[in-house]
């Protein structure tokens, strides 16, 4: 997992509509990257549903939340619609997992990201967390503790 104090690796990935979203788009704000394995899997559905429930509170603390997985933009669009998600979902699709790997959230054996959170502010990693297993959802309390620190 990427270390706190590290310069955040730059990225530019398509969102669920195919629009390019870059790290620089969040300059001057707090950005919480949520790396997750796959759209439509039961645990990912629960995780992003939970984060949607508290998204207003996260935004009230001055942070933006963005999901990243290896799924395509088309898959992300359908996943957002099914769950009524409003946070952007970025497609780390081609080359597969490049950004996820740069942030140290990649699981080579399965070919997708781990459930990991990275808080970036002023281009620097301020906090990061990797679940011990992709089956364990990082609770919203971790996010709020990181934003309060």
Catalytic residue among 13, 32, 38, 44: 44
Does residue 78 lie in a domain region?
Answer: yes
What average pLDDT does the segment 31-59 reach? 97
Is the pTM above the cut of 0.85?
A: yes
Q: How many domains does the chain have?
A: 1
Q: In Å, what is the CA distance from 11 to each residue of 25, 68, 72?
A: 10, 11, 16
Both tokens assigned to 98: 């490049």
Whether residue 21 is contained in a domain is answered as yes
99 lies in a domain?
A: yes
How high is the pLDDT of residue 13?
Answer: 98
Domain encompassing residue 78: 12-148
Position 146 scores a pLDDT of 97
64: domain CATH number? 3.40.30.10
Closest CA to 34 of 57, 58, 5, 7: 58
Q: Nearest 5°: CA angle at 106, between 137 and 57?
A: 40
Is residue 1 in some structural domain? no
**Is 75 noted as a catalytic residue in this protein?**
no
User: What is residue 50's predicted lDDT score, i.e. its pLDDT?
Assistant: 97
pLDDT single digits (tens) 6-18: 999 999 999 999 9
Q: With cut-offs at 50, 70 and 90, classify the pLDDT of residue 53.
A: very high
Residue 25, in any domain of the structure? yes
CA distance 128 to 123: 14
32-60 average pLDDT score:
97
With respect to residue 7, please indicate whether it lies within any of the assigned structural domains.
Answer: no
Does residue 88 lie in a domain region? yes
What is the per-residue DSSP string for 19-32? -EEEGGGGTTSEEE
């Amino acid at each position: 997992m990427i270390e706190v104090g590290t310069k955040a690796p730059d990225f530019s990935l398509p969102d669920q509509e195919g629009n390019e979203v870059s790290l620089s788009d969040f300059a001057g704000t707090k950005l919480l990257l949520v790396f997750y394995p796959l759209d439509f899997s039961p645990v990912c559905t629960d995780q992003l549903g939970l984060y949607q429930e508290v998204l207003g509170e996260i935004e009230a603390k001055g942070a933006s939340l963005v999901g990243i997985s290896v799924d395509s933009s088309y898959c992300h669009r359908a996943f957002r619609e099914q769950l009524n998600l409003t946070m952007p979902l970025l497609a780390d699709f081609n080359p597969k997992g490049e950004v996820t790997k740069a942030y140290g959230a990649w699981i080579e054996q399965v070919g997708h990201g781990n459930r990991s959170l990275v808080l970036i502010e002023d281009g620097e990693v301020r906090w990061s967390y990797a679940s011990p297993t992709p089956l364990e959802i990082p609770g919203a309390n971790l996010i709020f503790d990181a934003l309060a620190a």
